[in-house]
Each structure stands twice: as structure tokens, then as C-alpha cells.
């Protein structure tokens, strides 16, 4: 489903919520019962069956006379189902999992209850900071992090060694390494490139912007202003353009191809690629011992990089009639037991990064994933951001840069589109 549908659905939902008196997102005032039956919507493949069973059983044990039922939801058409259900007191689930970049949209239209009062009780300072920020509007928090999936840079240690290259410690080093290893072509592979670097992997590319301290836009005096026409953003785009113009494979590949970046890596066509951690499961066993991993390097050696982090938040529906009971369930969801089991079974970085050590080690270890999560950044928490993504404006930005267009002209043109979209009624 195109991301613009998120806004269309949310706008319709906002109208319903406004008519029925829940546009403030303060929660249904009738939720003071001591017992009841909670419905929790989680997404398919987010949480293991064992973790779900523990949550249901533990909630019942701690709250005699009450039940909690997890209803697993397919990702297809989830926005339209949320639109219909969250607007109805009789149909709404009590607790919902929502993608992290969609949370601000649903919070803005009043679909989620203000649960700021839970912050200390769920160890808010230990939760993924970027997710909490994304779910906080006007000083009120409407959801908390459930889990996240990190991205890393995979690279051939043997090829870099043969080319006389140390593992990059800055973004400039990474740019140089891609060019140097390509020129060296240690194994003599025809058409060999330094790095697989497709423009459609928008979230992977955003780490370059964020690490330079830039973002697509920021809010100033009640309006959204482009963040692209800045020295920081331009520096990031210049680095990426250098790669695309000289040492990148697959710059304009379609999403279907770009979604399998390990294929050219396994074929020896590239020395590096950046992707979500689960890519480690698809790396050829023959290459496992010569594959290194690292976070996207920072701008300066010894500094921090900031990568986009995909994942989900969890919040309480504003229409739920079981607000207090739902808060008890939220505490269990964000507890050490549940977070640890989620990490162990699913391999996600748990919303509370204190428990990230439970992530099973593979090519990518748990400590690295925790570090990436704790220093992550996200796209603007603007209600209309989903329209920006739905209209493929970020892809247009990176495509133009990859084709060698003038950076000043591109950021002016794309920045104007972003501002117009984010500030539209």
C-alpha cells in the first residue's frame, strides 16, 4: 500500500474521532474497571508464539478475572483496518502495534491515548530514544518502542586486506575504500564495483544525512522548513554522489533487485553493501569467515553515526474503554521478561535496549546492534511525512544525485516539494 494512503486513512479517522469526541487523544474516560478483556493487535512475524503465550498467561495471573488476547495482524491493508477499528469503541483493539514512522500520524489525529504518565514506570530513559521522540507530540507521548531492526555495513575483509585498506572509520574513509578496492579488483572479477548502493534503499541512505547532523526538514515557528539546503546535508549528498559516480553497483536498480543486496556480494561483484541485519542469514557460508560488519561510520573518527532504524511502537487506542487495564498490559510488554524473550526469539533489538544482549549472535553481534539503536535517528515527525514518502520524494532526491545533477539545484527543487507537502492542510 502506498504510504500516502496512511494520511488519507488517518484524515478520515480524524474526522470520525473528532465527531465522537476523542480528537484530543486523552483516552476514553470510561476506562476505570478493575477487570476486563483486552485485545492486543500485534503484527505478523513481530513477536514469537512463546512470547505471546507468556504475555497472555502473565497478564491473566497478575490480573485475576481479566484476560488479554493477542490478535496477530497481516501487514497488508493494516492502515485501512486501523482506520476502521480505532474509530469505533465497539471494534477498537485496546493496544496496537504501529510502525515507528506512522506513529506521529495516528497520534496527531487523536487515535492514540496520551500515555506520558507511564514513562518512568517503563524505564523510559532506557527506551530507544529516536522512537520515543517520534511518538512524542507537543510534550505528550503516545506510544513506546516495541522493537527495532538495525542496518549495518557488510564488507569483504579479505578484499580490503588485499587492496591494502583498513576498515573505514569515517564516511570519507568509506568513500575512499569503495574506490580503492574497486580499482584494485583483487580477485579480477569483470565489472567489479566497490559497493552495492541503490537509491531505492532510502532508509539506508538516510544514515549519511543524519550522521552529518542533517534531516529532510525541521519545524520552525509552526512551519516545516527544508533541511536539505544546508552545508551538512550537501556534504552528505556530495559523498554519496562520489560513490554513485565512480564505485557503485546498482544505483538505479528496482526495489525487487535492491531488496536482495547479498546476491551481488555473494557473486563477488562488490566488496561492500549496507542492509538490515537479517541479510547476514543470506550471506554465502563460503564468505562468512571473510565478512566483516560495522555501523555506518561517523563523519569524524571517534564520533557517532546516526542511522535510520525501522521497527514498531506500541500504544493504547484512545477509544479503548479499558485505559487503566491497558496500561498494566503496557508495563508487561515493556518488562524485562517480555523484552528479553522478544530479542531471543525474534532477533529484534528490544524497545528497551538494556536487554539487547539477549539478541542471538550471528555475523552481527548484539552489542553492535544495541549501539546502533541507541544512536539512531528518524525522519521528521511530521503528520504529512507519509505523503512525502508516498510520493517518492526521497527516492527522487537520491536518484537525481546519483545521476550527477547539480546538488544545489536538486536540494532547492526537492526541498520546495518537501516544504509544500509537509505544510499542506
What is this structure's pTM?
Answer: 0.90
Class of domain 4-148+310-370: alpha beta
pLDDT of 386 reads: 85
For the chain, which residues make up each domain, given as ranges?
A: 4-148+310-370, 151-308+392-422
Question: Mean pLDDT throughout 279-284?
Answer: 97
Tell me the pLDDT band of 314, cut-offs 50, 70 and 90. Answer: very high
pLDDT of 83 reads: 87
Q: Fold identical between 4-148+310-370 and 151-308+392-422?
A: yes
Residues 6+ apart with CB under 8 A from 403: none
Question: Mean pLDDT throughout 376-396?
Answer: 94
DSSP state string for 22-84: -TT----TT---SS-EEEEEEETTTS-HHHHHHHHHHHHHHSTT-EEEEEEE-STTHHHHHHH
pLDDT of 79 reads: 87
CA distance 212 to 405: 21
Which residue, among 23, 144, 6, has the nearest Cα to 82 in the 3D structure?
6
Superfamily for the 151-308+392-422 domain: Periplasmic binding protein-like II (3.40.190.10)
Is the confidence at residue 7, as pLDDT, over 60?
no
Q: Burial, 117: exposed, middle or buried (Cβ in 10 Å; 0-12, 13-18, 19+)?
A: exposed
List the beta strands (DSSP E) in 235-357: 248-249, 270-276, 291-294, 310-316, 349-350
Which residue, among 20, 318, 313, has the nearest Cα to 146 in the 3D structure?
313
Percentage with pLDDT > 90 across the chain: 88
Amino acid at each position: 500500500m502506498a504510504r500516502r494512503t496512511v494520511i488519507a486513512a488517518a484524515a478520515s479517522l480524524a474526522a470520525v474521532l473528532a465527531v465522537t469526541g476523542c480528537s484530543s487523544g486523552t483516552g476514553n474516560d470510561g476506562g476505570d474497571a478493575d477487570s476486563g478483556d483486552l485485545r492486543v493487535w500485534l503484527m505478523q512475524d513481530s513477536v514469537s508464539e512463546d512470547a505471546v503465550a507468556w504475555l497472555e498467561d502473565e497478564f491473566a495471573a497478575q490480573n485475576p478475572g481479566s484476560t488479554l488476547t493477542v490478535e496477530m495482524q497481516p501487514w497488508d491493508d493494516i492502515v485501512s483496518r486501523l482506520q476502521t477499528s480505532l474509530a469505533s469503541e465497539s471494534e477498537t483493539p485496546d493496544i496496537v502495534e504501529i510502525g515507528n514512522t506512522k506513529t506521529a500520524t495516528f497520534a496527531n489525529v487523536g487515535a492514540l491515548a496520551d500515555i506520558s504518565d507511564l514513562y518512568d514506570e517503563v524505564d523510559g530513559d532506557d527506551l530507544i530514544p529516536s522512537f520515543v521522540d517520534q511518538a512524542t507530540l507537543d510534550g505528550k507521548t503516545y506510544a513506546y518502542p516495541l522493537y527495532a531492526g538495525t542496518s549495518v555495513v557488510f564488507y569483504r575483509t579479505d578484499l580490503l586486506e588485499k587492496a591494502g585498506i583498513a576498515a573505514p572509520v569515517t564516511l570519507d574513509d568509506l568513500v575512499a575504500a569503495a574506490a580503492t578496492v574497486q580499482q584494485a579488483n583483487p580477485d579480477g572479477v569483470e565489472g567489479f564495483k566497490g559497493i552495492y548502493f541503490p537509491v531505492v534503499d532510502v532508509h539506508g541512505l538516510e544514515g549519511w544525512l543524519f550522521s552529518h547532523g542533517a534531516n529532510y526538514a525541521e519545524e520552525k515557528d509552526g512551519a516545516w522548513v527544508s533541511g536539505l539546503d544546508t552545508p551538512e546535508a550537501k556534504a552528505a549528498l556530495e559523498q554519496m554522489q562520489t560513490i554513485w559516480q565512480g564505485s557503485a553497483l546498482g544505483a538505479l536498480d528496482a526495489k525487487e533487485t535492491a531488496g536482495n543486496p547479498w546476491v551481488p556480494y555473494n557473486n563477488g561483484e562488490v566488496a561492500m553493501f549496507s542492509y538490515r541485519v537479517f541479510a547476514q542469514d543470506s550471506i554465502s557460508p563460503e564468505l562468512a569467515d571473510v565478512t566483516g560488519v560495522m555501523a555506518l561510520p561517523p563523519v569524524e573518527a571517534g564520533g557517532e553515526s546516526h542511522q535510520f532504524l525501522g521497527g514498531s511502537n506500541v500504544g493504547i487506542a484512545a477509544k479503548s474503554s479499558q485505559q487503566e487495564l491497558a496500561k498494566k498490559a503496557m508495563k508487561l510488554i515493556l518488562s524485562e521478561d517480555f523484552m528479553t524473550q522478544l530479542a531471543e526469539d525474534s532477533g529484534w533489538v528490544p524497545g528497551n535496549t538494556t536487554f539487547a544482549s539477549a539478541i542471538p549472535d550471528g555475523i552481527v553481534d548484539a552489542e553492535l546492534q544495541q549501539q546502533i539503536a541507541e544512536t539512531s535517528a528518524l525522519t521528521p515527525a511530521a503528520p504529512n511525512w507519509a505523503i512525502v514518502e508516498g510520493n517518492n520524494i526521497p527516492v527522487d532526491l537520491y536518484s537525481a544525485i546519483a545521476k550527477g545533477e547539480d546538488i544545489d539545484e536538486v536540494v532547492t527543487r526537492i526541498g520546495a516539494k518537501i516544504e509544500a507537502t509537509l505544510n499542506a492542510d
